[in-house]
Chains A and B, each alone.
Chain A
């Protein structure tokens, strides 16, 4: 039976979060229409999932983004990919997601429908369902359109043990593709900075590529997705946690020419710019080529590259041989990333 097409001409009001008939209709017309699956259809406050064997991995991520729709994605697909990737970085096979929506009064129903449809599409492509959800409405001016929190549950296969304590000097640092696409795609739409570009967010689910990587080399030491703060934040965090150093080669780090140009234009460092569909993999040197080949066989890892190695020291520092052959420290981004132009 096909549900009649709902009326999406209105906007969210407080009754949509009130627990009454309007809320039930919203859930049916928008969320269930796009996200229906056997788990969600259980219709309980808590959904039961058959986990099989292995350790459970669980993660949660709150998604706020402006603009809500951007080249290459929107907050809906981002909320799915972001949480799937967090599971994948633990080496986990994702089982299910949960989604909680905080919607601002006055938010157009048509936009909410578009976001839910995008989430549904991302879930189907990833083969991972939304198992349960929640909706709240806040007064106008107390939210920024819509915020989505997704949690994820997965299972880590036996023999996989990924984490910074497994870092050792001499291990290879691999990167799955060019950096900065997501951050620059978002910036290109920000008021006051608009520029025309074909750069799309790299927002993508990486769990299938990771499953193949883990199958090929179960002993991968670390997987991490360099999201906010970019590659520099991810590597500094790992170096700090492990008490080891890292040495990168600037020329080996892939950056799309348009992203590099946008960074030149705004005085930004691509190393600090956010990604939503990339991963850093640290592994034994002899496994590097195997893993690069596995990554390159996936569209998400087509441009994977070896960008450096782990060093004994200086502890907690990431260093880099620059384009011209000098040395520099690669530091954390400090504060908010702001254009530096005058």
Chain B
């Protein structure tokens, strides 16, 4: 199922190893599969390996789009309501 979770890199070690924090859990992981990992990066942790960096900017954009889905939907509902009212008045 490819369980993987975001982990914050807290320290880099020799041999492409790193310490990470997963919401308060400390774990030693390998960063051998990524280039140029830095302390403070969020990485996707899967079975002891960092698989990819996690982009905060993209995460915020995604959450904003989710919220916007509601705005769009509200507009649609409003339009439907306006049309409905117009229909009732005629």
Contact = CB atoms under 8 A, between A and B. Distances in A.
A264 B3 CA distance: 8
Interface in B6-44: 22-27
Contacts of A262: 22, 25
Given A341-B3, A342-B3, A264 B26 contact: no
B27 A265 contact: yes
A258 B25 contact: yes
A195 B25 contact: yes
Nearest to B45: A265
B62 to A, nearest CB: 16
Contacts, number: 43
B82 to A, nearest CB: 29
B56 to A, nearest CB: 18
A198 interface: yes
B1 A265 contact: no
Interface residues of B, number: 13
Nearest to B23: A261
B2 interface: yes
Interface residues of A, number: 15
A196 B22 CA distance: 10
A197 B23 CA distance: 10
A196 B3 contact: no
Interface string A247-272: 00000000001101110110100000
A258 B23 CA distance: 6
B27 A267 contact: no
Interface string A137-161: 0000000000000000000000000
Interface of B: 1-3, 5, 22-27, 45-47
Return the 6 tightest CB-CB contacts between A and B, nearest first.
A261-B23, A196-B26, A258-B24, A261-B25, A341-B3, A261-B22
11 contacts: A195-B27, A196-B27, A197-B26, A261-B23, A264-B22, A264-B23, A265-B45, A267-B1, A341-B47, A342-B1, A342-B3
Interface of A: 195-198, 257-258, 260-262, 264-265, 267, 340-342
